[in-house]
Copies of this chain bind each other. A is one copy, B any other.
Amino acid sequence: MASRPPDPDLVVAARRRRKTATAAGDKHPLILQAAIHVFARHGFFNSQVADVAREAGVAAGTVYLYFKSKDDLLASIFERTVREAIAEGRAALATVDAPIDRLRAIARRHLEVISRDRDLAVVFQVELRHSTKHMEEFSATMLGAYLGLIRGVIAEGQAAGAFRADISPTMAAKVLFGALDEMATNWMLSRRRYSLVAEADVVVDLIARGLAAPPRPGKSTPRRRTP
């Protein structure tokens, strides 16, 4: 364990939380969760760093030991959420093989992450949209990674002949992400408390149908099995 090359993802994650996550007392997730709650309740601009600190039960200065700036709090929320979605997406992929099932797994986890914490959903779907700068910056990095995950699954499906090959997998990935993102926004804005995750299936069915390879007579969609 000591000499193995470190997982790049873990390195990135560790770098985010300044140095030692020594014992149990890591205040990084504590403050981040406080920020989610405070931002969701009052909005990013109406919230003060001192509010977040108070909610987290730390001093105002302590926030700056874990985050570069107030903006960094927002960025970290975005980043952590996307990172988790990627991780959960990957984990979900491990259990299924058929391309359409893999897409469904990603979509379900995506909406699960969102619907797990309504405050997070508010921040992620609304507050994050304010700064075009943020959006553009993060779209290029984290979001790119997430889209890459989806694109990979689609490309696999195309390679396996399950999906039509005459559509760019990047474009198809964006369509799926866009649809899921809009589901999430609707759910978050809606006063009703319906099941968000259930919509994953509908979205995937719809898109998968659009992606389906034209049936070749007498040959059903092949199911690939991973070891």
Q: Which of B46, B132, B178 contacts A130 (CB 8 A)?
A: B46
Quick check: A43 and B130 within 8 Å, CB to CB? yes
Bound together, the chains give a CA A31 to CA B225 distance in angstroms of: 48
In the complex, which residue of chain B has the Cβ closest to the Cβ of A191?
B178
- Taken together, the copies of this chain in the complex come to 4
The interface bits of chain A over 181-195 (1 if a CB of B lies within 8 angstroms of the residue's CB, else 0) are: 110011001111000
Chain B residues lying within 8 Å of A45, measured Cβ to Cβ, are 43-46, 130
Write the nearest CB–CB distance from A181 to chain B, whole angstroms. 8
Does chain B have a CB within 8 A of A129? Answer: yes
The interface bits of chain A over 52-96 (1 if a CB of B lies within 8 angstroms of the residue's CB, else 0) are: 000000000000000000000000000000000000000000000
Bound together, the chains give a CA A131 to CA B181 distance in angstroms of: 23
Does chain B have a CB within 8 A of A126? Answer: yes
Bound together, the chains give a CA A191 to CA B191 distance in angstroms of: 24
Write the nearest CB–CB distance from A185 to chain B, whole angstroms. 6
In the complex, which residue of chain B has the Cβ closest to the Cβ of A43?
B130
Q: Name the interface residues of A110-169: CB closer than 8 Å to any CB of B.
A: 126, 129-132
Q: Which of B44, B178, B186 contacts A185 (CB 8 A)?
A: B186
Point out which of A41, A46, A130 has the most chain B C-beta atoms below 10 A from its C-beta: A130
26 A-B pairs with C-beta separation under 8 A: A41-B132, A42-B132, A43-B45, A43-B130, A43-B131, A44-B45, A45-B45, A45-B46, A45-B130, A46-B130, A46-B131, A126-B126, A126-B129, A126-B130, A129-B189, A178-B190, A178-B191, A178-B192, A181-B189, A182-B186, A182-B189, A182-B190, A185-B185, A185-B186, A185-B189, A186-B186
Residues of A within 8 A of B (CB): 41-46, 126, 129-132, 178, 181-182, 185-186, 189-192
